[in-house]
A and B are shown apart, each in its own frame.
Chain A
Amino acid sequence: MRIELMVNGDPVSRLVEGSESLLDLLRNDLGLVGTKWGCLTGDCGACTVLVNSEPVVSCLKACAQLDGSTVTTIEGLTPTHGLSDLQQAFVDHFATQCGFCTPGMIMAAEALVNSGVPADEAAIREGLSGNLCRCTGYNKIVDAVMSVIEQRNA
């Protein structure tokens, strides 16, 4: 079946197989390997991207359902020059250790920050609770997200 969607602002038209996941399309077909292949069962959040501005785990999202959708990945969040505010905050707060969870973590954080969440630690932890960091660097991640909420509210 053919689907047409926008990925990071570019129109994409592709033939997709029935159960092909958005993660497969992004990594294998479009070469957008920033989105990570983690558990493939929706548990770890490493494959989080935005579909129509909402965070989803792309490993469990069937491409067949995405005709007409708008998808944003970590590549789409990154400006042509430099880093987005969240990316920079992750650098500044040393919120990246091995880095594997980082793209998914930042996409979940982007959705969280855009949702108008207050600069509240419990709310941030809850909003990111679908993303595992096996380096367990959660405190620094929360600090990074907190700083961006404060910046954007300032």
Chain B
Amino acid sequence: MVEVLIPGTLAEALGMLADREGAVPLAGGTDVLLDMRTGRSDPTVLVDMSRLDGLRGVGIDGDLVTIGAMTSIRTIERDAELAARSTAVPEAAHVLGSVQIRVMATLGGNLCHATPSAEMPPPLLVHGAEVDIAGPDGGRTVPLADLFAGPGATTLDPGELVAAVRYPAPSNLGSCYLRQTVRWSMDLAGVGVAASVAVDGDRITTATVALGAVAPTPFVVGGVADLMADDPWDPERAGEAGRMAAAASSPISDARGSADYRCSVVAALVPRALGIAYRRAIGGWPVGRFSPTNGLVEEPA
């Protein structure tokens, strides 16, 4: 029988995780309870994070966005400021699970469950997010990419927690998240694509693409900035970025698609995501309006 401990402070939570071997943090429960019910895990102690109000909420200070680990996906989805400044992040939140799941699920839970197809990592990766980690020996901050060790595995040491996610959201940067699914709702991504583009006028200064569901961990595609930077929008180079991203992918074949199909989808979605991110960066897209998940909109001229 599982025991649930309910700490009132982060320090208490860290103490409980340190004292009780095998204790599992419980955030929204949409993964932890599901894994227990389906027999994928059998923890003896759960440490409930829901009373740690300091880990909940969205803060914006200048160009820096901070999102507490216990912030619900629903809160992120509906935050107008996030939609204006880092559109890919609420855009990904918007397609995660269902309303009910989004109300319950948290950002920290989505990251720490480390599902390769999780919605939240790719948009955060293209914003250059870092995670604040709290642990028994104090805190540390690591790039988000370094949090993921493999399917279902993180680099967190025993007793450590993700406390918050931080990323810059300058006004000259646009971002976008697209995905391919078999069903529109309540499905995991077969392919998840995030892109960000920063501009100076109409000239691209940098561009980043991150992928989910096509490798053991979410990852940033190398070389996209070198390809796109220092010039205005070029659809041919965006297409080339898509081919680079497909070449960097190493998907499995499963019920959501074959490996070959997933690579083809990556090649198709990357230029669309870059195009929408570019439009958002130059102010050519309605602020706060999400894209269709397949990104099928007119390419920027």
The digit string for B161-190, where 1 denotes a CB below 8 A from any CB of A, is: 000000000000000000000001110000
Interface CB pairs A-B, < 8 A, 28:
A17-B1, A19-B2, A19-B33, A19-B36, A40-B37, A42-B97, A42-B100, A45-B100, A48-B100, A54-B103, A55-B100, A56-B104, A60-B33, A61-B104, A62-B4, A62-B29, A62-B33, A62-B46, A65-B48, A67-B6, A112-B99, A126-B185, A129-B185, A130-B99, A130-B100, A130-B185, A130-B186, A131-B98
Chain B residues in the interface with A (C-beta under 8 A): 1-4, 6, 26, 29-30, 33-34, 36-38, 46, 48, 50, 74, 97-101, 103-104, 184-186
Find residues 18-73 in chain A having any chain B CB closer than 8 Å to their own CB. Answer: 18-19, 21, 40-43, 45, 48, 54-57, 59-62, 64-65, 67
* Complex CA distance for A97 and B34, rounded to whole angstroms: 29
B40 vs chain A, min Cβ distance (A): 11
What's the minimum C-beta distance from B27 to chain A, rounded to whole angstroms? 10
* A contact set with B: CB distance below 8 Å: 1, 17-19, 21, 40-43, 45, 48, 54-57, 59-62, 64-65, 67, 108, 111-112, 126-127, 129-131
| Contacting residues, chain B, for A65 (C-beta < 8 A) | 26, 29, 48, 50
Residues in B with CB closer than 8 Å to A43 are 186
A64 to B49, CA, bound (A): 11
Q: Which residues of B contact A57 (CB under 8 A)?
A: 100-101, 104
Q: How far is the CA of A57 from the CA of B184 in the complex (A)?
A: 19
- Contacts A57-B100, A129-B186, A130-B98 given: A42-B4 contact, CB under 8 Å? no
Determine the distance from Cα of A17 to Cα of B4 in the docked complex, in whole angstroms: 8
Residues of A contacting B34 with CB < 8 Å? 41-42, 60
Chain B hits for A127, CB < 8 A:
99
Contact of A18 with B100 at beta-carbon distance under 8 Å, contacts A62-B33, A129-B184 already known: no
What distance in Å separates the Cβ of B152 from its nearest Cβ neighbour in chain A?
17
CA distance in complex: A56, B50 (Å): 15
Contact of B2 among A18, A48, A111 (CB under 8 A): A18
- 9 shortest interchain CB distances as A-B pairs: A130-B98, A129-B185, A18-B2, A64-B4, A54-B103, A18-B4, A57-B100, A60-B33, A130-B100
CB distance from B158 to the nearest CB of A (A): 21
Taking CB atoms, residues of chain B closer than 8 Å to A56 are: 100, 103-104
Q: Which residues does chain B contribute within 8 Å of A62, judged by CB atoms?
A: 4, 26, 29, 33, 46, 48
Chain A residue nearest to B36 (CB atoms) is A19
Given known pairs A40-B37, A54-B74, A130-B185, the reply for A60 and B104 (CB within 8 Å) is yes
Chain A residue at minimum C-beta to C-beta distance from B97: A130
A64, B6: Cβ atoms closer than 8 Å:
yes
Chain A residues with CB under 8 Å of B30's CB are 42, 60
How far, in whole Å, are A130 and B105 apart by their CA atoms in the complex? 14
B29 touches A61 (CB 8 A): yes
CB proximity of A43 to chain B, nearest CB, Å = 6
Q: Which residues of chain A come closer than 8 Å to B26, judged between CB atoms? A: 62, 65
Residues of the A chain whose Cβ atoms lie less than 8 Å from the Cβ of B3: 18
A40–B46 alpha-carbon span in the complex (Å): 20
Contact of B101 among A42, A112, A126 (CB under 8 A): A42
Task: Give chain B nearest CB distance to A154 CB in angstroms.
Answer: 25
Q: How far is the CA of A131 from the CA of B184 in the complex (A)?
A: 13
Distance in angstroms between the alpha carbons of A21 and B184 in the assembled complex:
28
Q: How far is the CB of B294 from chain A (nearest CB, A)?
A: 15
Residues of B within 8 A of A21 (CB): 33
Query: How many angstroms from the CA of A131 to the CA of B186 in the assembled complex?
Result: 9
Shortest CB-to-CB span from A112 to chain B, Å, is 7
Question: Other CB < 8 Å A-B pairs besides A42-B30, A61-B29, A130-B185, 10 of them?
Answer: A41-B37, A42-B97, A45-B100, A57-B101, A60-B29, A62-B33, A65-B29, A108-B99, A130-B100, A130-B186
Chain A residues lying within 8 Å of B100, measured Cβ to Cβ, are 42, 45, 48, 55-57, 108, 130
Which B residues are CB-close (under 8 A) to A108? 99-100
Chain B residue at minimal CB-CB distance from A47 = B100
Residues of A within 8 A of B29 (CB): 60-62, 65
